[in-house]
Amino acid sequence: MNDLSPTHFQQREYSAAAKAFLARTPQLFINNEWVNSSADATIPVEDPSSGKEIGRVVDASDKDVDRAVSAARVAFDDGRWSGLPPIQRDRTMNRLADLLEANADLFAELEAIDNGKPKGMAAAVDVPAAASQIRFMAGWASKVNGEVIQPYTMPTGAVFGYTSREPVGVCAQIVPWNFPLLMACLKIAPALAAGCTIVLKPAEQTSLTTLLLADMVAQAGFPAGVVNIITGNGHTAGDRMVKHPDVDKVAFTGSTEIGKLINRNATDTLKHVTLELGGKSPVVIMPDVDVAEVAPGAAGAIFFNSGQVCVAGSRLFAHSSIFDKVIEGVAATGPFWGPRPSLDPEGHMGPLVSKEQFDKVMGYIEAGKRDGASVAMGGDAPATDGYYVNPTILVDVNPQMSVVREEIFGPVVVAQRFDDLDEVAKAANDTCYGLGAGVWTRDVATMHKLASKIKAGTVWGNCHGVIDTALPFGGYKESGVGREQGRNGIEAYLETKTVIIQM
Ligand code: NAI
Ligand code: MG
């Protein structure tokens, strides 16, 4: 990574389609129309591969938020979406997925330009995963039903008791910048299947693909007001959404700090809340593995998406007998993960999303060094423009260090040794988080023992970060409230109504 050409970190030219998209007038998507903001505040759009401003999006005002919520409220209350035959909701959602796939290349490019992730990764992961979230949930539109229940204290036939499932109502959905399109689709899919209406806000750093999604919403044939998309800052527009009396549910993915604040702010109006928050996920490597096979997996667990992943395998625990070999094996992947501009077709890892995130990650690396950690790889920023951080391994760490305790959200892994299973289970659980965990072993009993001991919403065996729309996803402890995806995902958008009729 030392003898790079002078143009190595130079971003490639954008396609004509991307340039045209960036040249659009900043607007909001309300009631299936592009509308101007009531104010004229905007937020810069930045390409983290160059650090340059490349466009602007609206910074929604309180009035804009109110307008979007009111559109969603009217669309919910008159039943124009929830009242449709489920087959029509299913078909409309599948048309949206078709449009995503038909425009996959532009989605992938805009995601790469806006977030910094390699376009190839966006095309291989983000866009198809976004489409499958929508397709899977579309099927639930026709499959959520109540049940007829025999009362416990009454004779058979005395009353007729049953439940029905109804959509919770208007949903405020707030998503982060690490997987912008995927997070947006993961949020809207279950809400739409349930019959809810939506005000969706992307993160202020990454609005582009969510705005392109708005075009597809209109084309797919959703009734006006079902999906409203506003861009803007979290502490203003996001805050207004969370506190709005006409909103019935808040779904949030982002930092634990803001998740707690949102939970408090949603309390006055007792909204339903689901939260998918931060993590400090352990990766445990048992001594029976083939290190040459496993080390690239451990590297991918932390360096994929520049470590900006809620389930990033940021704490590596390798058995003492293989520790040095594991570190060597992870370090050997350094050139593969060396950061490149997002439109470089050779790239596997891009820059971090923003200057703020870059400063945060570099600050943690410095703090780790001050606290006595040693750098086994990386630890530095290789370019003057753009927010590139080299893949980094810290060793000689202890559980008191901030690099071990706190979510860094960058390509930085802290590696520790262990000697037995109970010890590593305890160490893995020594965190306020509980989102994901990876266990690498060939021994089935060890796998199940650790899967049961580790307090995390998802435990991966011999892989890491594998997510599928059919499988529930969410956090223990301070990693969140509720589950998304699978049957749990749609349940979170449904009320249960009990009806008891005296016969
Ligand atoms: P954040 O939690 O502040 O932002 C996430 C979303 O929440 C954005 O759409 C933002 O506009 C919105 N938001 C912010 N404040 C709000 C408020 N008061 N009310 C309503 N909405 C609000 O995350 P940020 O500041 O971008 O990143 C900080 C750290 O959070 C990262 O370094 C990382 O550690 C963590 N993070 C975790 C993510 C995850 O997937 N679990 C995703 C993004 C960040
Ligand atoms: Mg923030």
pLDDT tens for residues 22-51? 999 999 999 999 999 999 999 999 999 999
For 359-387, give one letter per residue: b (16+ CB within 10 A) or e. Answer: ebbbebbeebeebebebbbbbebbbeebb
In the predicted model, is pLDDT for residue 1 greater than 70?
no
In the predicted model, is pLDDT for residue 415 greater than 60?
yes
Which atom of ligand 1 is the closest one to the Cα of 201?
A: 9
Q: How much is the average pLDDT of 437-454?
A: 98
Mean pLDDT of the chain: 98
- Sorting pLDDT into bands at 50, 70 and 90, what band is 6? confident
Q: 340 and 8 in contact (C-beta within 8 Å)?
A: yes
Show the tokens assigned to 260.
């707690």
CA distance 498 to 331: 58
What amino acid is encoded at 176 in this protein?
Answer: P
pLDDT digits (tens, 9 = 90+) for 473-495: 999 999 999 999 999 999 999 99
Q: Which bound ligand lies closest to the C-alpha atom of 179?
A: 1
- Could you tell me which residues come within 8 angstroms of residue 27 by beta carbon, excluding any fewer than 6 positions away? 34, 35, 36, 37, 58
Q: Enumerate the β-bridge partners of residue 372.
A: none
pLDDT digits (tens, 9 = 90+) for 301-359: 999 999 999 999 999 999 999 999 999 999 999 999 999 999 999 999 999 999 999 99
Tell me which residue has its CA closest to atom 40 in ligand 1. Answer: 310
Q: Of all residues in the chain, what percent carry a pLDDT higher than 70?
A: 100
pLDDT digits (tens, 9 = 90+) for 92-110: 999 999 999 999 999 999 9
Q: Of all residues in the chain, what percent carry a pLDDT higher than 90?
A: 99
Tell me which residue has its CA closest to atom 28 in ligand 1. Answer: 255
Show the tokens assigned to 15.
């396609």
Which atom of ligand 1 is the closest one to the Cα of 257?
A: 2
- Could you tell me which residues come within 8 angstroms of residue 217 by beta carbon, excluding any fewer than 6 positions away? 29, 32, 96, 226, 227, 229
CA triple 117-120-124, angle to 5 deg? 105
Tell me which residue has its CA closest to atom 36 in ligand 1. Answer: 255
Q: Is 361's C-beta closer than 6 angstroms to any atom of ligand 1? A: no
Q: How much is the average pLDDT of 214-230?
A: 98
Q: Is 262's C-beta closer than 6 angstroms to any atom of ligand 1? A: yes
Q: 258: CA distance to ligand 2 center in Å?
A: 7
Q: Give the per-residue pLDDT at 325.
A: 98
Tell me which residue has its CA closest to atom 32 in ligand 1. Answer: 409
Q: Which bound ligand lies closest to the C-alpha atom of 206?
A: 1
- Could you tell me which residues come within 8 angstroms of residue 371 by beta carbon, excluding any fewer than 6 positions away? 397, 400, 401, 402, 403
Q: Is 255's C-beta closer than 6 angstroms to any atom of ligand 1? A: yes
In the predicted model, is pLDDT for residue 170 greater than 70?
yes
Q: Is 480's C-beta closer than 6 angstroms to any atom of ligand 1? A: no
What residues are labeled active site?
A: 276, 310
CA triple 35-37-42, angle to 5 deg? 120
In the predicted model, is pLDDT for residue 2 greater than 70?
no
pLDDT digits (tens, 9 = 90+) for 379-393: 999 999 999 999 999
pTM of the model: 0.98
Count Cα neighbours of 112 within 13 Å in the Cβ-side half-sphere: 31
CA distance 297 to 285: 10
